[in-house]
Structure 1
Amino acid sequence: MITACTSADMDLQPLNGPTSGTFPASYEEGKMGLFAAYRNLSTLDAASTPIWHVMDNITDIGYARPGTNYTSPITSSITTTNALAIKPWEIHYKTIARCHAVLDKLNDIPGLTEAQKQELGSELRFIRAYCYSQLIELYGDVPLVKSTVTLDNANVPRTPITEIQKFIIEELGAVAPQLPISQSQFGNVRASRIAALMLKARVELYSKQYAAAAATSKQALDLAAGVHSLTAFNSSVNYAGKDHTVGEPDPSNIFGHSGFSGSKEWIWVAEYNINVPGYLHNQQYYSASRLGKGVCYWGPTQNLIDSYEMTDGLSITESPLYDETNPFKNRDPRLDMYAVRPHSRYLGYQFEPNTAFSKVNNYWTVVNGGAPTQVANADATNAYRSFSGYLWRKVVDIADFNSTSVSGNSDLNVGIFRLPELMLIYAEAKIELNELDNSVYDVINQIRARAKMPVLTNGLSQTELRKALRYERKVELANDGLRWYDIRRWGIANTVMNGYLYLNRNANNWTKSAISSFDESANPVYNHPKASTYFTTQQVVYKVNKDEYWPIPQSEMDANPSLKQNPGY
């Protein structure tokens, strides 16, 4: 039998589907490869939560349940075998490989028209550029491969980050004109010209090429006019600052199922689909309260909660509106639209982490026309209740309440690019150039107006506008997964990630004396002796010349002798 298997026999290809030897053999197979690359991005998760909603929870504004994977990144003790640090490298390079599987043979696909070649090529190059943009932010210098790597050429050394930035910017400049201005007909899950320009502007901003970032983001904003727009909060914004008896704040018309299907705010979206095996995540289960059928894995820190301004636009240390006996009243409505705090309603229940509340209201009975009932308060008694005392509202949709379970039944999409970030990229680039014209105020004020916050005072200095910009990025983009990058590129990680994170797991009352002031990046400066009497703390450590980047996974070092490890690991 062995001798009967000639080499010709072994080279025969199946006739009933794609094979590695002939793929892609048609436009349809090329599209399959394109969709597989998009699909692979959505597999990047941690604790069954898409990576975009994990990253802020290892910074000063979010906190994860204590454990090796999430405590080590904030205590300068992450290792080369840490699952969180390994996965992005693995998934992004797998996605890049999927891009190359089509790109390498694009000119050889039979019958492919120029329009089809442009469609496949431009989107695949966009995905590859996005993967590299993430890799360099997380790991610094990484191998830059532009075609399929085989065992014969697998030992690729690291490429300087500046060279990769140049590659990304040039690639996006080349493919942007080839992409449709909008891909809204596909639910924004495919790359558009606006998305390509936004990614280009982001890389330019992060690499401090401010003039280029301002020009590129302005081009994207001009194209976005009439295509993308800010979505007004629904009427539940009127519940912000009020207690559970009034109603439940609900941002789902932007961040929920209805938002991803109807909001014009989304520029690029990661898609999930309950009808496709494995095309799900369990974000709601890991994010929700105990009574909301969740496990409270992630939550905002006290640092973020204290950062929200008062409705007069002043900080809680400056505003006469601040009442320390009712600290959530008269606050920026985004506090309640994006986060969950004590005395509010969340997923149909009164949320109270303090053990003084042995029973809380169940408002699901009200939906059926009845009165609230009382239930035992698991959010105060469960050993694994919220570790920060707060939860995220932004990434949870009450429509998924009935299907939330440990098995992971959510196919809520996840936004990657959103219009407010594009607007703030433009504003930041202009501020750093010290070009403080009306266009800077306009984009920031549009975001503030949507949040029902007062506009900025005219005539601010560069330092004052920078603080206003950093405030908006902190609170508007909270839990969008960008804070990890922001505090590093601004050079403030050494400050905000050294010392203590303040948590309020027991939902204690506190006085204004716990905070001394707010710094030039809109971060609270705590009076530690006083603050530590009210709050629990998590000690955090950030080592300069080490914690700017994660370690290269040990498995990659073992497989590729040409790789050199990042400093400090």
Structure 2
Amino acid sequence: MKRFNNITKIAAVTIGAIITLNACKPDLISLNGPSTGSFPANAKEAEMGLFGAYQNISKLDAASTPMWHVMDNITDIGFARPGTNYTSPITSAITTDNALVNKPWQVHFATIARCHTVLDNLEKLKASMTETAYDQLDAELRFVRAYCYSQLIELYGGVPLLTHSVDLSNASVPQSPKAEVEQFILDELTAIADKLPISQSQFGNVRASRVAAYMLKARVALYAKKYKDAATAANTAISLSAGVHDLTEFNSTINYVGKDHTVGEPDASNIFGHAGFKSSKEWIWVAEYNMNIPGNTHNQQYYSASRLGKGVCYWGPTQDLINTFQCDDGLPITESPRYDASKPFENRDPRLDMYCARPHMRYVGYQFEPATSFPQVKNYWPVINGTSPTAPNVANADATNAFRSFSGYLWRKPIDLVDFGSTSVSGVSDLNVGIFRFAELLLLYAEAKIEDNDIDYTVYEAINKIRRRAKMPELPTSLTQAQLRKALRYERKVELANDGLRWYDLRRWNIAKTVMNGVIYLNRDAKAWTKEVITGFDESYTPIYNHAEAVKYFTTQQVVYQENKDELWPVPKSEMDANKKLEQNPGYK
């Protein structure tokens, strides 16, 4: 697949290669150069064009990691290996040629162009298709386009609103205001939602469904602060999900949380792993990868995993996120009698260990110890593979390698052990990536109702359903709006950790200016700490530190957020050069 560097080329693209899916598994097929004037010539070509648009979304990556699992690592809850592309976004130092911020513009507009290549000529096929088939194909293409625009406006603000292919002679298109694009998205989703099947689980949820359309509508409306519309759309999606989508219970490895490496390894792969994408009802819409298709893989597992676990520790949770997890009595660590700073990982919200890897536990088959006081650790792979009843000792590269975890922690979600039993240090994965899941849908509904101050039993139930799955106590009743907002923000922060939504939450809640100014705390050397490092949590469930005490144990990363600049990313320089009608976002040169 050819990649494009600027919108003028994207707008004029003709399909030279199309991805088709066999049971929604893409296979590369050359169409020998159909032109935008003749393509699609029939319903089959139109369907192949749709599949090409779906597949193009999977190109959205950075450091060979799907973008959805990159975004949280440039916030307060995740940290990337220091470097220009990932340090600059948290220090207000992004330049207009930053590869990270350029990629979404390029990929989303390329995907939109693929949609237009089919949509522009689709009506010619109407007479040769059933009304249902035609309407569904049209709706799926418009859904993909709406999703791309929903991402573009949150990252860049106003963007060119293209509703048809644009040729090179007329490719300079100015930005439309964000609100105008936002309304276009909502109108599109209103028009097409009911033309989609309720579910497309038979295709592994890689194709858009009615539930996905209403969920996208709810998310866009919520981000636009149209709370009644968001609640209505989310409620419709939840109602449609009955018998189709639901939360998936954690498997039996939840019994290992809060314990050490000797008992076993927490594993959420029945939701976030290969098995989960095949069978979990939690997934509503998924980006698909396939090892058999050139270029349709990623190196997410390699970039995420520990040094011993065939990885390079590129991403990891921050100390700020680790400290956020409540105790298992539902109280913050500054209030719970069950919190012991000398044993800080015991008696905590099980999602700490289900979603994150921390010292003293097993991770991708090894005892994980970032501290140099552990020169050797256990290798459990002989036990896992059944070749030995005991785990031998190995040298602890996770404590000695210069590029070990920079935060002292690693992401367990969405790691899958299956990939580590078969890949080499440079291996690739085709683990799918979830874009929409039922847990987020519940939280979209709850937040919309809370912000509209329309609080009833259903708000509590939406949040409590997620907490019950995590074996956490239900919320106390009769909370105020402010208390419920804080509870909701806790759930989004921990349940959706590493799902790629925190960057957007910080901005739409208007808390980035405080959360991302000052320092975030890391614990690369896995030092013990005292209870005095934290004095409480603010109204958005951000830890409040006693800095003088905290720096005795934790390292810090300076973070900078400039208002009227860092709300958005810059328009890529290559786009500004190619399209003279584009205007740069405030604060960028």
For 1:70, what is the secondary structure of its paired residue? helix
User: Is residue 387 from structure 1 mapped to residue 387 from structure 2 by the alignment?
Assistant: no
Select 1:498's aligned residue among 517, 538, 549: 517
Select 1:531's aligned residue among 550, 554, 564: 550
CA deviation string 1:274-306 (max 9, x = no partner): 111111000000000001000000000000000
Distance in structure 2 (CA, Å) of the matches to 1:365 and 1:127 = 45
Q: CA deviation at 1:225?
A: 1.2
Q: Which residue of 2 aligns with 1:47?
A: 63
Q: Which residue of 2 aligns with 1:370?
A: 389
Q: 1:232-311 residue pairs with structure 2 within 5 A?
A: 232-311=249-328
Distance in structure 2 (CA, Å) of the matches to 1:57 and 1:252 = 21
8 Å contact 1:282–1:406 — kept in the other structure? no
Q: CA deviation at 1:16?
A: 7.5
Which residue identity does 2:68 align to in structure 1? W
Q: CA deviation at 1:18?
A: 5.3
Q: 1:113-192 residue pairs with structure 2 within 5 A?
A: 113-192=130-209
Distance in structure 1 (CA, Å) of the matches to 2:370 and 2:356 = 14
Distance in structure 1 (CA, Å) of the matches to 2:527 and 2:423 = 29
User: Is residue 540 from structure 1 mapped to residue 559 from structure 2 by the alignment?
Assistant: yes
Q: Which residue of 1 aligns with 2:347?
A: 330
Size of the alignment, in residue pairs? 556
Q: Percent identity?
A: 68
Q: CA deviation at 1:402?
A: 2.8
CA deviation string 1:194-236 (max 9, x = no partner): 0000000000000000011011101110001111011000000
Distance in structure 2 (CA, Å) of the matches to 1:475 and 1:405 = 31
Q: CA deviation at 1:515?
A: 0.7
Segment of structure 1 superposing worse, 101-110 or 374-383:
101-110
Q: CA RMSD in A?
A: 1.2
Task: Name the CA shift for 1:361/1:16 in 2 (closer, same or farther; >3 Å).
Answer: closer
Select 1:424's aligned residue among 414, 432, 443: 443
TM-score (norm 2): 0.93
Q: Which residue of 1 aligns with 2:7?
A: none
Q: Which residue of 2 aligns with 1:37?
A: 53
Task: Name the CA shift for 1:285/1:16 in 2 (closer, same or farther; >3 Å).
Answer: closer
8 Å contact 1:266–1:417 — kept in the other structure? yes
Distance in structure 2 (CA, Å) of the matches to 1:240 and 1:16 = 52
8 Å contact 1:79–1:551 — kept in the other structure? yes
Select 1:98's aligned residue among 114, 120, 124: 114
User: Is residue 450 from structure 1 mapped to residue 466 from structure 2 by the alignment?
Assistant: no
Q: CA deviation at 1:403?
A: 3.2
CA deviation string 1:37-88 (max 9, x = no partner): 0000000100000000000000000000000000000000000000001000
Unaligned runs of 5+ in 1: 1-12
Distance in structure 2 (CA, Å) of the matches to 1:493 and 1:535 = 22
Q: Which residue of 2 aligns with 1:195?
A: 212
CA deviation string 1:379-428 (max 9, x = no partner): 00000000000000011100100333454420000000000100000000
Unaligned runs of 5+ in 2: 1-15, 17-29
Distance in structure 1 (CA, Å) of the matches to 2:378 and 2:290 = 34
Which residue identity does 1:559 align to in structure 2? A
Which residue identity does 2:130 align to in structure 1? T
Q: Which residue of 2 aligns with 1:465?
A: 484
Q: CA deviation at 1:458?
A: 0.3
User: Is residue 339 from structure 1 mapped to residue 352 from structure 2 by the alignment?
Assistant: no
Q: Which residue of 1 aligns with 2:91?
A: 75
Q: Which residue of 1 aligns with 2:534?
A: 515
Distance in structure 2 (CA, Å) of the matches to 1:16 and 1:78 = 40
Q: CA deviation at 1:120?
A: 1.4
Distance in structure 1 (CA, Å) of the matches to 2:414 and 2:252 = 18
Q: Which residue of 2 aligns with 1:7?
A: none
8 Å contact 1:18–1:29 — kept in the other structure? no
TM-score (norm 1): 0.96
8 Å contact 1:282–1:408 — kept in the other structure? yes
For 1:104, what is the secondary structure of its paired residue? helix
Q: Which residue of 1 aligns with 2:242?
A: 225
For 2:337, what is the secondary structure of its paired residue? coil
Q: Which residue of 1 aligns with 2:81?
A: 65
Which residue identity does 1:216 align to in structure 2? A
Distance in structure 2 (CA, Å) of the matches to 1:334 and 1:263 = 18
Which residue identity does 1:452 align to in structure 2? K
